[in-house]
Amino acid sequence: MQFSRCKSLFGDDFEKLQKAKIIILGVGGVGGHALDCLYRSGLENITIVDFDTFELSNQNRQIGSEALGESKVKHLKTLYPNITAIEQKIDIDWVDKFDMSEFDLILDAIDDIKPKIQIIKKYYKKLISTTGSAKRLDPTKIEYLNIFKTFNDPFAKKIREELKKAKFDKNFKVIFSSEEPKCKDMGSFVGVTGSFGLTMCSIALEKIRNNINKD
């Protein structure tokens, strides 16, 4: 049976997982692995949003990236047929217009600061966000921590600064790595980017099982 081992592990909570409605923003190295993890855990009511196409440089870390030149969301829909795919650039205008209140959880794996800040301000109670996963080698350094306590991450620093400007002072946790960046260029390692996505999936499953998913 397809999910028999998941049912053995999650018990009566498995039904909660199957009923959960999730949206993933960004399905690159982090979001793609979060999608795979959720789907293989029995969740099928998943919506993914992205506007990019697969490039050769994606193949070191992104699921589905063998489909060079193809739309990420359209190709992932062929791999995970029960999902809903939205090919859309995630900018502030879209965040303001698209109602995400119907989803139990929002998984934010984008790296564009302005829409990310808008998403945090608007949906922080049902949001799981990631910071920088690039330039790192050690997945054991990944933590889930209040954004204002993060360190060693220039991307997280930008998020903190923008949230402070917006007078946002909630106890909002993010997935981040305490490891110092190992290079200046955009180096990446699937052992870390994939682990960010798997951590995101694990946190989502825990929140669903404990009903920590309402705005």
Q: What is the pLDDT of residues 180-207, one digit of tens each?
A: 999 988 899 999 999 999 999 999 999 9
pTM of the predicted structure, to 2 decimals: 0.96
Q: What percent of the chain is modeled with pLDDT above 90?
A: 95
Residue with tokens 């998403």: 119
Tokens encoding 192: 């870390």
Average pLDDT, whole number, for the chain? 96
For 169, phi then psi, to 5°, come to: -130, 25
- The predicted pLDDT at position 212 comes to 58
Q: What is the pLDDT of residues 24-37, one digit of tens each?
A: 999 999 999 999 99
* pLDDT classification of 1: cutoffs 50, 70, 90: confident
* 213, pLDDT greater than 50: no
* pLDDT classification of 215: cutoffs 50, 70, 90: very low
Domain borders along the chain are: 4-209
Cα separation, 30 vs 198, in Å, equals 8
* 214, pLDDT greater than 70: no
First to last CA, the chain: 35
- The predicted pLDDT at position 134 comes to 96
Instruction: Let me know if 178 is exposed, middle or buried by CB neighbors in 10 A (0-12, 13-18, 19+).
Output: middle
* 15, pLDDT greater than 60: yes
Which fold would CATH assign to domain 4-209? Rossmann fold (3.40.50)
Q: Are 94 and 115 spatial neighbours (Cβ–Cβ below 8 Å)?
A: yes
Q: What is the pLDDT of residues 63-99, one digit of tens each?
A: 999 999 999 999 999 999 999 999 999 999 999 999 9
